[in-house]
Structure 1
Amino acid sequence: MSFPPPEAAAAESTRAPSWSAQRLLSSPHRLCFFWAGVQWAVSAGWWAAELLAGPRAGNSQHLVPLVAWHGLWFSLGAMPLFVAGFVFTAGPRWLHTTPIDTRQLCVGVGLFSAGWLLALPLTGVDARAVAAMLLAAAIGQSLLVERVLALLRTGRSGERVHVALITIAMAAMALTLLAAALALATGCVEWLQPLAQAGLWCGPVLVFVAASHRMLPFLGDGLWPALDRGWPHWPLWLLVSLVPVQAVCALLPNMAPLPPWLRFVGFGHLVVVCVASAGLTLRWVGHPAMRTPMLRMLFGAALWWLLALLLLTAAALPALSDESARRLGLAGLHALGMGYLGGTLLTMATRVSAAHQGIARAIDGVARLLYVVLQTAVLARLCALLWPQAASVWLPAAAVAWSFVTAFWLLRHGRWLGQPPRARSRSSQSPIIAAIEKR
């Protein structure tokens, strides 16, 4: 019997393990994150290509409006699968129940992913065919909701609040997709944009507010201890109250003009939430925990939440002109979706996939670079809205930067998700990071 030379054995031991699709079935986050990353990269690449190609000629009533499709896909394309990956990974721990078998998610993830990805080439062919694909995505999302409900039924009652809110958000995303499919099938394409906006609030925003309150310090309790004692979890419920109000404000104008009193109520509500969010977030400025790269990145995302509320509050000023309100409102939505949701998602998805892969230093130079490029994309998108004279430069720049982040994340983390985990190495970390991981 002959043995390989020591040099060959050493090279074999350091070689990266091969990628396997079967590995995606080893845990829920691997399956969900991989297909979420595919959605994220494809949707971003498609939008960048559309903007660089210029306006499309020969619009037809049978085609899907690209701007509305962009809003719907960015709101409800990748996000539901990232959310599923998080909730099926952390949910059993929060509820003290048995982890779910990843194979039980395959049909839901497959239908959802196939529906969105097959809809893309059909957007320029027939809106009714796109409606059928969105219906498939809605069914896939509904199957994932059913699995979360199964977790809730077996979990402890005292730990259900945050998972219940996330479940409601996942159900709202399924209903939004169903409504969008109905709108396309019946030719009511003018409903796509308000549905995308309402779905963003009722889906991803509700999820991230609930998860941030459960896991992160920035939007959590502790600002006013007396209020904490009298109204437990008041920051959570105050921020969650934004969801139905903003969803109604997005959908109602398509049915009837907003009455003046409702605009005043919406403005006052935004002011209250904005002031509370400022107190909750800015108390962490200069905190020693901010020396940790991961917390700095999450804090930067939380600042986008605050800026988004400021822009939305300014847009709701009753005396503002319609065009100014429109631009400020869109700026607020993009600060919310790209800055807060995008920044938090990039940081947490990077951390989760790296930690489960056995990589101790998740926030390395590459992660910081992607985060900086993401911030650049958000700033460029806001410049395109608030400086319309230069929108032809800023808008494609934002799309290309966003596409770079999503494609690079998929190439790097998609490779990890299909490989076996490495031997874990222990490293010192912030006590707050350790607390987050225990949660």
Structure 2
Amino acid sequence: MSNYRGFAMEYATHPFALLRAPHRIAFLAGLVAALMLMAGWSAELIARHTGTTLTPAIPSLFAHGFLMLYGIFPLFMCGFLFTAGPKWLDAAPPPPWAYLGVPVAMLGGLLVWTVGLSLGPLWLRCGLALYSIGFTGLIASFVRCLLSSQAAERRHAFVVAAAFLLGLAGLGAAWIWLLDNDYRAWTLMRDLALWGFLLPVFLTICHRMLPFFSANVIAGYRPWRPWTLLYAMLGGSLAHGIASQLQIPLWPIDAALALLLGYTSWRWRLVASLNVKLLAMLHLAFAWLPIAFALYTLQGLLAGQGIDTFGYAPLHAITVGFFLTMLIAFVSRVSLGHSGRPLVVSPLLWRLYLTTQVLAALRVATGLIPAVWHPPLYLLVAIGWLLVLAAWGRGLLSSYWRPRADGRPG
């Protein structure tokens, strides 16, 4: 019996259903964090209309950048890696105390950090310390799993581990930012988190999983995922981050990425995926990437002519268009499959997903219209996301603390 299956037999019948699979607690913590942070951002936007702020300890834009990068996605990644990673590697996943302790520490750190936005720097540092402990524990657990594996193919796992180490470096930059109030450290944190950590992890998971899922559904499709594609995508992401730090022109990199990612979306059969909603959710999310880098390219070319336009539209095409909609697609799939329910998108889930696409388009479009329209649209999109996440989470929550619907262990 493999290490992975041995673990499944040992822990999958734990008396507490919440501890029967590693993803349950982490996904639950991720939902709590997402709702908390989106509610906080909505409240901050409402406060701006009265000329006040809810985050006197730190400028709200800086706090928003940190929380949106580190506050939601790593918790869901934790659940995915603790569940799928060991299966990829045929290794024993972390024991219950580890996959309980890591997301609890990360969520606790986010709660303390969020409170610290009003109470002061000491709380911010305590929150960041607790979160950093959890984040480090996640890396240590995954690396232990990786190094104990005898699987023949581990490249995806090594890339993910390296990206998480860059994410940890981003937390180090966040410490410098908080201790010295150094804006340069904040930009380093932002670029490490976005271009060194989050985008490489998402791209690596997509490279491994999207062709596989498509081959299972689309008749006659043979998985296309050459390693050169992954290396080119990762190289482009890292190059963008380095160019951003060096403040040199980015548009040649972005143009190449737009073409590559557009071709990849076509080669992965975006159009054919639309016949199966659960698969279409993944492909539609990925389709935001060529749009994002096309916007970055245009922004760079116009900036070279002295024209400052688009604002944060390209950035939000990645963070909201790609990251958030892909998160909903992947978490929905994992939650359905691992709760013993059919891999079928309900009408409600499909409507919610389409709403996320509309909200992402609105947030991107905000950067393309006159500034006078920005405040109401920011608030509309934030409240829209809060409501969608609440409705989406309500449909998933019971699957985390109840036994599998099919009666199987896990």
**TM-score, normalising length: structure 1:** 0.81
Deviations 1:241-282 (A, max 9, x none): 123222223434xxxxx3xxx41xx32222222212111112
Deviations 1:188-225 (A, max 9, x none): 2564355224312222211110010011129999xxxx
SS in 1 for 2:158: helix
Q: Contact 1:274–1:310 (CA<8 Å) still a contact in 2?
A: yes
2:293 matched residue in structure 1: 309
1:285 Cα offset (Å): 5.4
1:99 Cα offset (Å): 3.0
Aligned residues: 386
1:76 Cα offset (Å): 0.9
Q: Contact 2:288–2:322 (CA<8 Å) still a contact in 1?
A: yes
2:203 matched residue in structure 1: 209
2:406 matched residue in structure 1: 423
**CA distance, structure 2, for counterparts of residue 148 and residue 361 of structure 1:** 27
**CA distance, structure 2, for counterparts of residue 367 and residue 320 of structure 1:** 44
**CA distance, structure 1, for counterparts of residue 277 and residue 293 of structure 2:** 25
Shift of the 283–42 alpha-carbon distance from structure 1 to 2, 3 Å rule, reads: same
Q: Looking at CA atoms only, which structure, 1 or 2, has the larger radius of gyration?
A: 1
Q: Contact 2:270–2:284 (CA<8 Å) still a contact in 1?
A: no
Q: Which runs of 5+ in 2 are unaligned?
A: 1-13, 216-222
**CA distance, structure 1, for counterparts of residue 270 and residue 261 of structure 2:** 17
Q: Which amino acid aligns with 1:188?
A: D
Instruction: Write the mapping of 1:226-241 to structure 2, written as runs, cut at 5 A.
Output: 232-241=226-235
Aligned pair partner of 1:186 in 177, 180, 184: 180
1:61 Cα offset (Å): 11
Aligned pair partner of 1:332 in 302, 310, 314: 314
1:35 Cα offset (Å): 0.4
SS in 1 for 2:118: coil
Q: Contact 2:55–2:118 (CA<8 Å) still a contact in 1?
A: no
1:323 matched residue in structure 2: 308
Say whether 1:271 aligns with 2:265: no
Aligned pair partner of 1:375 in 357, 375, 394: 357
Q: Contact 1:21–1:418 (CA<8 Å) still a contact in 2?
A: no
Q: Contact 1:198–1:246 (CA<8 Å) still a contact in 2?
A: no
1:114 Cα offset (Å): 0.7
Say whether 1:119 aligns with 2:133: no
Q: Contact 1:115–1:135 (CA<8 Å) still a contact in 2?
A: yes
**CA distance, structure 2, for counterparts of residue 85 and residue 60 of structure 1:** 31
Instruction: Write the mapping of 1:25-424 to structure 2, written as runs, cut at 5 A.
Output: 25-54=19-48, 63-156=57-150, 158-189=152-183, 191-217=185-211, 232-252=226-246, 258=247, 262-263=248-249, 266-284=250-268, 287-317=271-301, 319-321=304-306, 323-324=308-309, 327-328=310-311, 330-387=312-369, 388-423=371-406
Q: Contact 2:112–2:126 (CA<8 Å) still a contact in 1?
A: no
Q: Which amino acid aligns with 1:180?
A: A
**TM-score, normalising length: structure 2:** 0.86
Deviations 1:344-377 (A, max 9, x none): 1101101111111111044111211221221121
Deviations 1:37-89 (A, max 9, x none): 11111111111121123257577997111111111111111111111111111
Q: Contact 1:304–1:335 (CA<8 Å) still a contact in 2?
A: yes
Q: Contact 1:308–1:332 (CA<8 Å) still a contact in 2?
A: yes
SS in 2 for 1:241: helix
1:316 Cα offset (Å): 2.1
**CA distance, structure 1, for counterparts of residue 354 and residue 29 of structure 2:** 24
Q: Which amino acid aligns with 2:96?
A: T
Shift of the 323–149 alpha-carbon distance from structure 1 to 2, 3 Å rule, reads: same
1:21 Cα offset (Å): 11
Q: Contact 1:33–1:85 (CA<8 Å) still a contact in 2?
A: yes
Q: Which amino acid aligns with 2:394?
A: L
Q: Contact 1:37–1:409 (CA<8 Å) still a contact in 2?
A: no
Runs of 4+ in 1 over 6 A off after TM superposition: 58-62, 218-221
Q: Which amino acid aligns with 1:346?
A: I
Q: Contact 1:27–1:101 (CA<8 Å) still a contact in 2?
A: no
2:4 matched residue in structure 1: none
Q: Contact 1:312–1:332 (CA<8 Å) still a contact in 2?
A: yes
Q: Contact 1:34–1:414 (CA<8 Å) still a contact in 2?
A: yes
Q: Contact 2:195–2:240 (CA<8 Å) still a contact in 1?
A: yes
**CA distance, structure 2, for counterparts of residue 375 and residue 60 of structure 1:** 29
Deviations 1:292-347 (A, max 9, x none): 111211121111111011111112225243632xx35x211101011111111101
Q: Contact 2:352–2:388 (CA<8 Å) still a contact in 1?
A: yes
**CA distance, structure 1, for counterparts of residue 343 and residue 53 of structure 2:** 49
1:431 matched residue in structure 2: none
